[in-house]
Amino acid sequence: MSPRTDLYDLLFSYVRLYDDEVMPFAEFAAVWCEGIGVQEVAKRLGANPESARKCRLATVVDDLEMNVGDGLLLVGPAGAWTLALQVAGYDCTLEENISRLSDGGGRALSISWCFKGNTDLIYAVDGEIVTRFEITYPEPQSGSAPDALDPLMEGLRFQLDEDDPIVEESLNSAFVLAGRITGQEIDRTWLDSPHTRFVIPHS
């Protein structure tokens, strides 16, 4: 059976937006939030509300004013959840921010990787980190309930052996898992639709 990489491939097709032809798709950061809307997600991540602008991912850097070290978000509804895609920075992957995004009885799920080799999936419920693992090496898992997501991971492949080193399949499995948790996989409709851009000032 061919490995499933369709969601990774979809996101990879937007790699030109990251302006990195030497190491394409070298980094990625996103968080899905349940129970709070676009403005509240941006607020909890420390974004400047006055920086809000409607745009698509393809135009997210157009007419943009930001300083070195600032974060850049694109936030929009994703089914019953809200998705924040971070184009610059890693604010949405910090444990304290993921906990904050799930405060008040909600849930938050973050997926990220970077050129240094870190590939993290973090799941929080009501302000508590429930499960955290490295996508390409998910054992051991940590958090207050490390195996909480195990029932949803059936059929997914994360840690691949040396004879089957397809990192893309591991990352794709993380996106499939996100879809199982939120009820909706990331798709081209979301990526091509207008959402709200926010700048997170560097502190």
pLDDT in tens, 118-144: 689 999 999 999 999 988 877 788 999
Could you tell me the two tokens for 8?
């990774």
| pLDDT at site 24 | 42
- From the list 135, 96, 83, 141, the residue with the least C-alpha distance to 112 is 135
| pLDDT at site 49 | 97
Whether the per-residue pLDDT at 147 is higher than 70: the answer is yes
| pLDDT at site 17 | 46
| pLDDT at site 21 | 46
- Report, as an integer, the average pLDDT of 74-94: 94
Whether the per-residue pLDDT at 177 is higher than 90: the answer is yes
C-alpha–C-alpha distance, residues 65 and 75, integer Å: 18
Confidence of residue 79 (pLDDT cuts 50, 70, 90): very high
- Report, as an integer, the average pLDDT of 20-44: 82
| pLDDT at site 2 | 64
pTM: 0.90
Confidence of residue 40 (pLDDT cuts 50, 70, 90): very high
Sequence spans of domains, the chain? 6-200
**What integer best gives the mean pLDDT of the chain?**
88
C-alpha–C-alpha distance, residues 80 and 38, integer Å: 12
Whether the per-residue pLDDT at 5 is higher than 50: the answer is yes
| pLDDT at site 165 | 46
DSSP readout, 99-137? Answer: HHHHTTT-EEEEEEE-TTS-EEEEEEETTEEEEEEETTE
Confidence of residue 13 (pLDDT cuts 50, 70, 90): confident
- Report, as an integer, the average pLDDT of 62-86: 94
